Amino acid sequence: MTRWIVPLLVFLATAAGAWHATLAAATFGLMEGAVRRLSLRAGLNTMSYGQLATPANQPIVRPSPDLAYSSCPFDLSAGPLLIQYVPVAGRYSSLSVFNARTDVVFVRNDEQAGGKPVRIAIAREGQKVPAGVETVRVGYDRGIALVRLLLADPAEIAQFDAIRRQSNCATIRG
């Protein structure tokens, strides 16, 4: 009987390690897949202005068909990222930033922003950002910044196209 105790402990320790490793691999892998799918639109470190989600347009699982999503998949290996988010007056909208582990490292909605544009920098520790810019330090290079805009009617997406395109993102060079 005692000769099985140590192998049993090895089994339990290995199972626990495999459990946690699988959960972590799934999380990071699924997020990396989302970064790559969204970067097919306009590349990394560039904001793209998606059409409303329909059964034929679902780059991300469980999309809301009532929200216009603008997305900026990013990679900080070439430098920090500057994001500008411009709210639409009288409409729910928000900017959220997700790191490679899917954690939200920043979120601000139109009311919190007072209806005014928001400029933030996303940077790794040690990366230089312009003075005076609100900065969010993150622990991973890759992630996604997402602007959500609520539409009362699908036809409004054309009406708000110009103001949606005022939200953008770009790598901060040297």
Asked if 158 touches other proteins (CB under 8 A), the answer is no
Query: 20 and 28 in contact (C-beta within 8 Å)?
Result: no
Among 89, 103, 126, 147, binds other proteins (CB under 8 A): 103
CA of residue 128 relative to chain centroid, distance: 21
Rounded to the nearest angstrom, the gap between the alpha carbon of residue 170 and the centroid of all alpha carbons in its chain is 14
Single residue of 41, 42, 48, 60 touching other proteins by CB under 8 A: 60
**55 contributes a contact to other proteins by CB under 8 A:** yes
| Pair of tokens at residue 8 | 């049993």
Q: Which of 125, 118, 119, 120 is nearest to 141 (CA)?
A: 125
Site for other proteins contains 53 (CB under 8 A): yes
Amino acid residing at 1: M
Binding-site member from 15, 36, 78, 161 for other proteins (CB under 8 A): 15
Residues that bind other proteins (CB under 8 A): 3-4, 6-8, 10-24, 26-27, 30-31, 34, 53-56, 58, 60-66, 92, 94, 96, 98, 101-104, 107, 109, 111, 144, 146, 150, 152
